[in-house]
Amino acid sequence: MARQIKEIRNGSRHGPVSSYVNSVNVTELNPFVLWDHFYLPHVEGTAGFDFHGHSGVATISYPQTGDIGHEDTGGHSGMLKAGGVQIMSAGAGVLHKETVYPDKHMADAFQLWVALPEHKQEMGPVTYSTLQQQDMPIVESDGSKTKVVIGQFQHQKSTAQPPVDMTYLHVNLEAGNEWQHLGQASQTTAFIYVRHGSVDTGGVHLSAGELGIFEKGTESLVVNTSTQDAEFLLVLGAPLNQEIISNGASVHSNRTNLIAGVQKIQQLHSHGTSHIS
């Protein structure tokens, strides 16, 4: 029996960002606490976000069109090419800056946030795991191509190092085909986002720009296409056995840690970022 969809979200748009998680439903996709789609079809120069702070959360950036340059107060910097993935665990607190370099005046990227486990990671150091597109495994079969961004699919495993037990897949499925995935039993949280085309899954029809949340469970995820090709992203994860408290920029398991994270970010702001290169 295939896992069923319990909710469809269309997201809320603010500027170039469409958000599918808010303060009201932030706990429903545990351990995932944010899913944003950043899309700018006409960009002159660069775009992005100047120095801002996070704590207690891992941000997972996955650009589709255009590259993302990053730098932070922990001394990290680099360039994430389109199609690659970067996992930044903010730990006890960090300021970072993301600069988007469009491709032919277009920028398109996804960002997923994951709450950090309360032991060691939540208030730990800032860490990174970056994997460029050419280093990601791709599984091809009749009618489908599955890119393993994080985790494992059909014995092909990504070397990206996630902070929690999770899987992140990017699938292209030709018209008139079926795709299946039986995830690890621990990964009971799952959602699907349709990037292009439309699919039938979990008893519903989903079109481009819609996010479907699967019921908690361990059954197979089954996706079908009819008359058109489709492209979708699928994310699964093991829920954390802890509270999720968020102020927007920081996510923690208790108010003491949230306050400490906010104070750390304020301290970093007070020190300034002009010295970062």
Q: Residues 82, 84, 87, CA angle at the centre, nearest 5°? A: 125
Q: Do 113 and 87 touch, CB atoms closer than 8 A?
A: no
pTM above threshold 0.85: yes
Cα–Cα dist 258/197, whole Å: 40
Cα–Cα dist 138/156, whole Å: 8
CA atoms within 13 A on the CB side of 188: 9
In this prediction, residue 277 carries a pLDDT of: 44
| Stretch (H or E) spanning 108 | strand 107-115
Q: Compute the average pLDDT of residues 49-59.
A: 92
Q: Read off the pLDDT band of 11 (50, 70, 90).
A: very high
Mean pLDDT of the chain: 94
CB atoms within 10 A of CB 238: 18
| CB within 8 Å of 15: residues ≥ 6 apart | none
Give 3-state DSSP helix, strand, coil % of the chain, rounded to 5: 5, 50, 40
% residues pLDDT > 90 (the chain): 85
Residue 136 is which amino acid? M
Three-class DSSP category at 147: strand
Architecture of domain 5-246+255-271: Sandwich (2.60)
Q: Compute the average pLDDT of residues 199-228.
A: 97
Q: Read off the pLDDT band of 273 (50, 70, 90).
A: low
Cα–Cα dist 61/109, whole Å: 7
Inform me whether the pLDDT recorded for 203 exceeds 90.
yes
Q: Compute the average pLDDT of residues 242-271.
A: 94
Inform me whether the pLDDT recorded for 227 exceeds 60.
yes
Q: Three-class SS string for 161-188?
A: CCCCCEEEEEEEECCCCEEEECCCCCCC
CB atoms within 10 A of CB 14: 9
| Stretch (H or E) spanning 198 | strand 198-201
Cα–Cα dist 63/43, whole Å: 15
- Token pair belonging to 211: 């996010």
Inform me whether the pLDDT recorded for 220 exceeds 50.
yes
Q: What is the pLDDT of residues 97-123, one digit of tens each?
A: 999 999 999 999 999 999 999 998 999
Q: Do 234 and 245 touch, CB atoms closer than 8 A?
A: no
